Amino acid sequence: MSSSPSSTKKTDYTGHYKASEVDVYPSEFLVRAFLGTYEKLKIDHKLLRGKKVLDLGFGDGRNFQLLHDLGMELYGTEITESICKLITERLYQRKGISVDARVGRNTSIPFANSFLDCIVARTLSYYMDEGNKYEDNLAEIHRVLKPGGLFIHSLPMPSTFIMRNAIDTGEGHMRITEDPYGVRVGTLMKQFKTEDEVRSYLTHGFKDISIGSAKDDFWGDAVHLWLVVCTKT
């Protein structure tokens, strides 16, 4: 019997993260965003000490060491309590790092209005629940950020590996059909063809928009991303 992509969806993220016993380094683009100096971007990370930062969809928790070293107050969201428990316990036991991790989704972030000074999203901000649009994700991110708060995130180009053979359901909302990690088949993600398209979604609600890009080829898997830093108006 044939199956649709959504019916073969596998989402055992807890098992995926539990199987990884090796600590992973922070995402390079976040290291560059916070610590680098570029023509189009300069963040004074010293001003972030003591500020509240959310790692949206923190996954294996790889970015918390960097955010901790920057002196920030750590918050995170993931889609299940089991992931939150696994990663927070691992971080505390191995590194002595405490994180306030809560169950949430891109359209339901469990924090009060204007609570956060910074949100980072290594991926995840473009993952969508059924019946939602990318604009719904942005509206929720905007809600929990303070005015002037930073939003640092990456967005996928159509040529990135996870979009291979994905099904366009309209407006660039793609149904994933292939995933080498075996956990995202059936997931809806928004892809972005051009820098202008990225900017068009952010102009209502965000300012100081700085957009870079990265194109890597990891032994046949292309990772092509827009790298975005902006502030809430």
At 49, which CATH number?
Answer: 3.40.50.150
Question: Looking at the domain assignment, is residue 182 inside a domain?
Answer: no
Number of domains composing the chain: 1
Residue 25 confidence class, pLDDT cut points 50, 70, 90: confident
Res 18: pLDDT? 65
Question: Looking at the domain assignment, is residue 75 inside a domain?
Answer: yes
Question: Looking at the domain assignment, is residue 68 inside a domain?
Answer: yes
Question: Looking at the domain assignment, is residue 208 inside a domain?
Answer: yes
Question: Looking at the domain assignment, is residue 39 inside a domain?
Answer: yes
* Whether residue 10 has pLDDT greater than 90: no
**Residue-wise pLDDT tens digits, 29-88:** 999 999 999 999 999 999 999 999 999 999 999 999 999 999 999 999 999 999 999 999
Backbone angles phi, psi at 73, to 5 degrees: -85, 120
Kindly write down the DSSP assignment for every residue of the chain, as one continuous string: ----TTTT----HHHHHHT--SPPPPPHHHHHHHH--BTTB---GGGGTT-EEEEET-TT-TTHHHHHHTTPEEEEEES-HHHHHHHHHHHHHHH----EEEE-BTTB-SS-TT-EEEEEESS-TTEE-TT--HHHHHHHHHHHEEEEEEEEEEEE-TTSGGGTTPEE-STTEEE----TTSS-TT-EEE---SHHHHHHHHTTTEEEEEEEEEEEEETTEEEEEEEEEEEE-
* Whether residue 185 has pLDDT greater than 50: yes
Q: 107 is in which domain, residue-wise?
A: 25-156+194-232
Res 4: pLDDT? 34
Res 149: pLDDT? 98
Percentage of the chain beyond pLDDT 90 is 88
Count CA atoms closer than 13 A to 129's CA, side-chain side. 9
Question: Looking at the domain assignment, is residue 146 inside a domain?
Answer: yes
Question: Looking at the domain assignment, is residue 166 inside a domain?
Answer: no
